Structure 1
């Protein structure tokens, strides 16, 4: 578990109050019936600057929806959200250059090389190409990718290597906030350790605020200052890993999740797979 340095003047990077999101699906074209599914049902939490905060929950718990709202890809149906001091969705245009996002299904131009994908992203951000390439190479080296692979097409790279490219792309602008939606899902053990170690170094060296969604208990316990348990669109508990285990009366974080949410995260994963 990470230990957050004490700071007299605590600043909040993320403020979420009563966040709600509903998805509407038309069940019958003839009758015009619409089914409502609430992905988020009044979620509230805050994340301090320089903190790593993890949201744990099974598939369908609302984790990805929450990340998409914070990254301005979705708008909420209720509640208040501030990210780095900016209100969403009213001030989203000021925010997009201040955060990086990595998802489990990161999109690329697979026929292009890692270098071409990253330089294209740098151009969109208005970065100077040579400086962006130097930064990309430095990040990839720390993530364990050899420089000789920089010109390989993405389609010839493993899932683990592609995810490292996605992390590099998100960090080209050196954002103060990083939103990570299950970034290590499906990675081999070495790639997972490489990414986790890099995230630890990033927060320690740069003071980057990280919001991480995952269903990997060990990953959350290793990286996080605080953890929130998300189930059925509700934040049912939060605290340090030790606080959550004490609240549940268990010695294991996964058991604490089951006790506090009433759900088995592994069973839900298999069901949704």
Structure 2
């Protein structure tokens, strides 16, 4: 085979490789613009999350942590697309933008690390607040039940008992004929109130347990998510050292 024939043999392969390279360059450019768009959208999300700010409010801070963690995939994907291809085929302003984004990735990673202890503290604060609220509600209901018990004990006549019952049954009262029925009604009401008080305690314990587990699940998910997010952002900073070096 002559040199001319060998050259003609490789020409189609070279043309195909050139076309592939040109197409890949165009695809990378599109991917970078998509990355910039995702970063802008992520910025809008962050602004929405922090407006209005309610710092020192444990519920707001805890929910903000959750929203930030759940929206992390968008900026991470945006950064990955923006840094694609390193310095190849960049515009004049892009080196400065890439350097800023690289340092910004480090800053965001550090902030996510700092959010973890804050998330743990807010979990404890919210657990204490939820328990206190449920306890206050139970105490209020118990105080109401105690008032009714006292009123029942003080009702010594049929008329007083019927009036008392009508206040709690929207006007529908049983017909009490004599003192024996009066005593039976008082006993039934006392038993009913005691059962209600027991159910109140059981419901309060169930509510505390349910809220505690729900809060713990969110706390573990969001705090672990913050740790993973921090590691990923710092990894991006480490792997984009080329963007921080002057050419």
Q: Same fold (TM over 0.5)?
A: no
Higher relative contact order (CA 8 A, sep 6+): 2
Report the TM-score when normalising by structure 2.
0.19
Which has the larger strand fraction?
A: 1
Bigger radius of gyration, 1 or 2? 2
